[in-house]
Structure 1
Amino acid sequence: MRRWLIKIRKEQQYTQQQIAHGAHIDRAYYAQIENGTRNPSMAVASQIASFLNINPSLFFADHLSEPFETALSNSPIVVAHCDLELRYTWVFNPHPDFKMSPIIGKRDDELDQNPGTLAMMDIKKRVIEENNTIRETISFPLSDGLIYYDVFAQPLYDSNNNIIGVATASTEFSK
């Protein structure tokens, strides 16, 4: 069962039929994808992802290479993608404060309002506006205190070399 997909569908207030229609697939096929009895092809995953404004890699997250997942799980590194509206389309290894809340489809300021989230949004905006990478230190007030991250942000491009969002890799460190 792809609970994350059901949750995104319900948050965006779509029916299975509306998503299937928007992705140009049969509703029964979409239902099978949602309940986990069928896996979509990359093309179908891309069509659904485009309709829901998410990253198609979410459909294949269970198949991340074991070395990558083993190396980064429980590490002080958070990797994420966002779209041009700064809404998360993919997140790997978020801080424990955010593991239980819905992140996909949300902006930083919708997850929490603090100087750290506003600074993170500013970095992403500048990456998009300047079409350039940015690396800065940001502090976030989290449940375990003030946490500092070395944030590396770079543009994400489509196959036509148009900017479609921002990729970030944030490493926690002690100050």
Structure 2
Amino acid sequence: MTADWGDGLVRSAVMTVKDDWIDYNGHLNMAYYNVLFDTAVDQVFERLGMGPEYLKERGASFFTAEVHVCYLRELSAGMPVVGTLQLLDFDSKRAHFFQELRHADEDWLSATSEQMSLHVDMAARKVAPWPEDIRANLAALAGAQAALGRPERAGRRIEIVKKAT
């Protein structure tokens, strides 16, 4: 089964920032940004054929190996948000993707997340190649997104650049 990716831009369902996710600073706690990003990833990966049934029927799943989150604008309780996902690259065992978390009504950017996921054989608990049908689904998504270009914020790293004194 190959999903129809339309124009390539993949959006999650609208999610709502919950009251109990707000920290003592009065905004969404950083842990819950990851909950929102992960929920959006799960929705896309289910369309790729790797939802809960994939684990049950085929004994495989995907694990996060690395993630880089940038917080750009605060979210508050009750705000509606939507996640987007762009597949930047994939190989025989990995998927590299970029996400944005946006206010669902006003479309401003709140946060970005760049992630590397690994395909895992759950019985062996080891990284394993994607099955051919899943690899084909990834290729279809990559093809649908080819015209999107690389996101400006992708590939960022953390460092303190010392200024000459």
TM-score for both structures, normalised by structure 1: 0.25
**Higher share of residues assigned strand:** 2
TM-score for both structures, normalised by structure 2: 0.26
**Higher share of residues assigned helix:** 1
Higher relative contact order (CA 8 A, sep 6+): 2
